[in-house]
Amino acid sequence: MKNKVQITKLQMITFLIQTQIGVAFLSLPYEIHQIAKGDSWISLLLTGLFMEILVLFYLILCSRFPNQDLFQILHSMFGNAIGKGITFLYMGYFLFTGATILVLFVHILKRWMLPYTPAWVILFLMASVGIYIAIDNLKVIARFYFIATFALLVFLFITPVAFKDENIHYILPIGQSGLMNILKGASNVTLAWQGIEFILLISPFVLASGREKFKAATLANIFITFFYSFLTFVCLIYFNNEVMKLLPQPVLYLLKSFSFKIIERPDLFIISLWIILVGTSFISYLYGASLAGTFLIKRWPRKAWVYLSAFTCFVFALFFNGENEIEKVTKTATYSGYIFFMAIPVFLLLLSFLFKKRSKGEVNAEHY
């Protein structure tokens, strides 16, 4: 291939970070606090450790099929019919996750910033931004993600303001909620790591050896783990147990209680940056869904699939945004995550070991 789209290691790191850190992290401390209480931050570190094992599995799988993405691996393992069937399921999963992101996004935005704006306007804007970037190739997307990473750093620099009014007693004694609850909490927040499966999609395009890819993926995972744990830690020492129960978006609430000389309401400022982070996750899922689409029907260009995917997500989010439905949608997303980014890839790896399948075929970069 002449114009093969390739991205660098750094772009791979930012791509993974941006895909994984999205809509969920504002409410992450709340979700995990319901189970693990003051030890939530330990739970998150444990989840990160677990995800690291998953990263290892992914990269072993990738090194066995160095030039193929997930769908091509599926194809060469299961043959045409079953491979395409699973690819179709993956497309559904990507679309569903993308729609979940939109649903949660509108939900939080309407709560915090735009209570009177109709949902469809917000959705429409988000979907059009998603289309605008997702129709470009991976390189362009990765470059955009790199720039967007600066939005993430702002979170790390602003939230420590809370240390001013902290009370470390809230998280002491460490281990108060018991090992079982810590583990249970750890298994419950995997949704926040959703997007890790994109390692399998972008790995053939990264300009690096297998070992370097593993390093990059590990770095991304470490960053995400510490980012989540840090935010949760700050929330835990600022709010106590009773208050945490009341705040579904503790990160925003934390910032709302401060005001600076220049920025009177930092929470609004932070929401605007958060929109970028949500956008990047959404774009990734559009990209993933369109990739699966082009694999299914090769005649259609990827552009068409992006439009179709965005439209599907938009329509879905338009109809499922009631208070009760959101809970169901999030739950389904978590459980489908178990299947699609844990069960299937691990199963694939085992099968490839079992049948000694590996491939050195060329990547089909026609559409990317």
Partner 1 sequence: MRNIIKRFIVLTTIPFLLSGCWDQRLLKEQKLILLIGYDKGHNGKIISNTDYPISKGVQNNSASTTKSTILTTEGETALDTLLHADLNISEKIDISKAQVVLFGEEMARQGLYKELDHIYRNPKGALGAKVAIIEGKARDAVRIKQEEANLNGQYYDEYLKSGEATGFFTNYNVQSVCPLLLKHTKDPLLPLLKISPERHRARSIGMALFNNEKMTGKLNVSESKMFLLLNGEKKQKVSFLLNTNNQDSQKEFIVIEILNNRQKTKLSVKNEAVTSILSSKLQYRITEYPKDQLTNPILLKKLNKTIQKRLTKKAEKTIAKLQAANCDGFGIEEEIRVHHHQLWKEKYKNADIKNIPIKAKLDLELINSGIIN
Where do contacts with partner 1 occur on this chain (CB under 8 A)?
Answer: 111-118, 121, 165, 167, 169, 172-173, 176, 239-243, 246, 256-259
Shortest distance in whole angstroms from residue 113 CB to partner 1: 7
Name which of 135 and 141 has its Cβ closer to partner 1: 135
- Of the pair 89, 119, the CB lying nearest partner 1 is at 119
Q: Which is nearer to partner 1, 32 or 271 (CB)?
A: 271
SS3 at position 37: helix
**Cβ proximity to partner 1, 256 vs 358, nearer residue:** 256
Q: How far is CA 9 from the centre of its chain?
A: 19
Contact yes or no for 361/76 (Cβ under 8 A): yes
Nearer to partner 1, 172 or 343 (CB): 172
Indicate the residue among 169 and 328 with the shorter CB distance to partner 1. 169
The least CB distance from residue 286 to partner 1, in Å, is 22
Smallest separation (angstroms) from partner 1 to the CB of 104: 17
Count the neighbouring beta carbons within 10 Å of the beta carbon of residue 354: 8
Cβ of residue 224: shortest distance to partner 1, in angstroms? 28
Longest CA pairwise span in the chain (Å) = 65
**DSSP code at position 365:** -
Nearer to partner 1, 101 or 122 (CB): 122
Tally Cβ neighbours within 10 Å of residue 331. Answer: 11
User: Cβ distance 6 to 139 under 8 Å?
Assistant: yes
φ, ψ of residue 326 in degrees (nearest 5): -55, -45
CA dihedral 100, 103, 105, 108 (to 10 degrees): -130
We find the least distance from the C-beta atom of residue 299 to partner 1, in angstroms, to be 28
Question: Coil, helix or strand for 206?
Answer: strand
The tokens 């993974």 sit on which residue? 16
Angle CA(59)–CA(63)–CA(68) in degrees, nearest 5? 100
Minimum Å distance from CB 121 to partner 1? 8
Q: Is the peptide bond before 248 cis (omega within 30 degrees of 0)?
A: no
Residue (222 or 246) nearer to partner 1, CB:
246
Of the pair 204, 250, the CB lying nearest partner 1 is at 250
Its sign, for the CA torsion 333, 338, 343, 345, is positive
Output the smallest distance, CB 46 to partner 1, in A: 22
Q: How far is the CB of 259 from partner 1 (least distance, A)?
A: 5
Residue with the two structure tokens 């070991």:
353
Residue 151 CB, nearest approach to partner 1 (Å): 21
Report how far apart, in Å, the C-alpha atoms of 176 and of each of 170, 172, 173, 238 are: 11, 7, 6, 18
Instruction: Let me know if 52 is exposed, middle or buried by CB neighbors in 10 A (0-12, 13-18, 19+).
Output: middle
